[in-house]
Amino acid sequence: MGAAVAQLPWLGDEVTEAEQLLLEELASLTREYPELSVKTAAFPWMNTLNGVGPQAHQGVAAIRLAATVDMELAEFLSGYRWLPDGITPAEAIALAEIADLASHDTNIAELLASSEGFVSGETIQHVAKGAGHLSGIYRADPALGRKVAAYPWVADGVTRIEARALFGIDELLRSPVQANPALAEKLAGHSWIADGITAVEIKALDNFLAFQKVAEQMGSNLPEWLAGYSWVADGITSEELEALRWFEELLSISGPANFAFVDEVAGLPWVADGVTPAEQDHLRIFWRWLEAARGFNTIFLRKAPTYSWVSDGVTTAEWESLSQLYDSAEAAGPRNSALVARLMDYYWVADGLTPLEMSGLRNLWELLESAADSELNLPRVVSRHWMIGCVPFDLPDGGDGIRELIQTSEPEHSALLGNLLTAPLARGRDCGGGIGNPEASPRSCDLLRFYK
């Protein structure tokens, strides 16, 4: 132990655990760097009868660690004007983080240590957090650490928002619950992170963190996928941030059964080329559908994004069609999921619904709802004869007569009605391929006139 250390006034009393840790650090510092130990032992807070706090040995350990990397940095750290008047826990942590960063990148550690806010003590906590996260990035990926350290906003001192940005990259590299190194590297390469972080951009990065946590649980790579789109790479606007939030919400509520639907939506061309405010309304509708999703409309959610009239951009009329299709699938109920699956495969659905076809769908599901209180096995009837592409959609009343026939029938007539509906129908006249053929032409079959 050096003479300067041996004369510390609190050594005359019983040495506490914190003081013992400090003595051990000072002894190591004296052996390795005698002049630095004399300077450190001369700090006023070292020479008090009240003893020292637990953070004292942390500060000395940080100065010693810095000295092992760069003596000039250690001398600089020991010369801060906020250091001689007493070392706080935050200051001890700051010294330790800078010293640790120096073991990875001496140059950036010196730049941060000499930044105005750190020297004055005004931004010491933000710089310390930034240095800690930068060290973490270096440990996980040295090449990425060098890229991030070269950001201009890192070298001039780290603000609160910038420390959050470094945390985000560090978290994506090392977090046990949301790590995605590929996503971290992709985001770190975007100009809107490299050239300075705005309030909107830090929210976008926070969104990606939350997004990735959900994606990790689902086994989805959706955040990485979205991060590669040009509208994400070239800078984030408020509208684009809102779109990212909707995708996070969609994935959060999708569940294992439906997260593939969210992937399908994210791959649509009108998402890839940038989401307009009108298209955000589409995402909002998708969210409503997912929130209400049960087993029966899982089929709808998986099939709908594959239609060309959905993928190429959805007009107002097409949204009405899609909503009608969803409502029909929902009205069918779980017991009719096979019916929904069959409906979704018909070409006249896949190529877009006309107003008459939408009217026919409404009547179809009203029939199903009516059948719930009837002895008639309408799902069987409908699956055999209605959903054939050869339906009375183009008749003047869109099939209202058939619906009325079912709704007004007496229970004792249900057998007769069933025979009518299951009898060989007028299939040959204009039905193209005939009843039961999904490729049949949707021209008039005069089915309604047959029943009347």
Length of the chain as a residue count: 452
According to the model, what pLDDT value does residue 366 have? 67
pLDDT of residue 363: 67
Confidence at residue 134, expressed as pLDDT on a 0 to 100 scale: 95
Give CA–CA dist 153/127, Å, rounded. Answer: 11
Dist CA 370 CA 231 (whole Å): 49
Residue 20's pLDDT is 87
Query: In this structure, which amino acid lies at residue 246?
Result: W
Q: What is the pLDDT of residue 440?
A: 37
- Reference 136, options 179, 160, 100, 89; nearest CA is 100
How far is Cα of residue 326 from the mean position of the Cα atoms in its chain? 26
* Spans in the chain with pLDDT lower than 70: 1-2, 4, 49, 51, 292-298, 331-337, 339, 360, 363-452
pLDDT, one tens digit per residue, over 5-22 is: 777 777 777 888 888 888
State the pLDDT at residue 328: 73
Residues 6+ apart with CB under 8 A from 329: 296, 297, 299, 300, 340, 343, 344
Of 370, 367, 408, whose CA–CA distance to 385 is shortest?
Answer: 367
List CB contacts of 303: < 8 A, sequence separation 6 or more.
Answer: 341, 344, 345
pLDDT attached to residue 438: 39
pLDDT at 365: 65
